[in-house]
Amino acid sequence: MCAAMLGTGRKSDDGPVRAAVVDHVIPHKGDRALFFNTDNTQALQDDRDRHDAILARIPAGRWGETGDFQGPAVFLASRASDYMHGTIVTVDGGWMGR
């Protein structure tokens, strides 16, 4: 698990995306958020060696924040994404593109 993903699928899964957007407004699936700044990742962030190794692999050079979902969530909730189906928008600081 290394990326957070917002999608236009029909199934909803629990996860950070659910906390960031309303389930019935933006259907989503495939959220992966291991490298986001949450209580669940605090131990990784506190371990300097692991923290540095993770950041070295994220092109954005930082841990994700829940606010990083705002732009994609607004887009997926807008008419601009009406013709998108079965697509996943990856919110991962560039992890998947490296």
DSSP state string for the chain? ---EEEE--S----SHHHHHS-TTTS-------TTBSSGGGHHHHHSHHHHHHHHHH-TT-S-B-GGGGHHHHHHHHSGGGTT--S-EEEESTTGGG-
pLDDT of the residue at 39: 87
pLDDT of the residue at 34: 57
pTM check: above 0.85: no
Q: Are 89 and 6 in contact (CB under 8 A)?
A: yes
Q: What is the pLDDT averaged over residues 83-88? A: 79
pLDDT tens-digit profile of 28-85? 444 455 588 888 889 999 999 999 999 999 999 999 998 988 888 888 888 888 888 7
pLDDT of the residue at 5: 52
Number of other residues whose CB lies within 10 A of the CB of residue 30: 17
Q: How many CA atoms lie within 13 A of 56 on its CB side?
A: 6
Residue 94 phi, psi (nearest 5): 100, 0
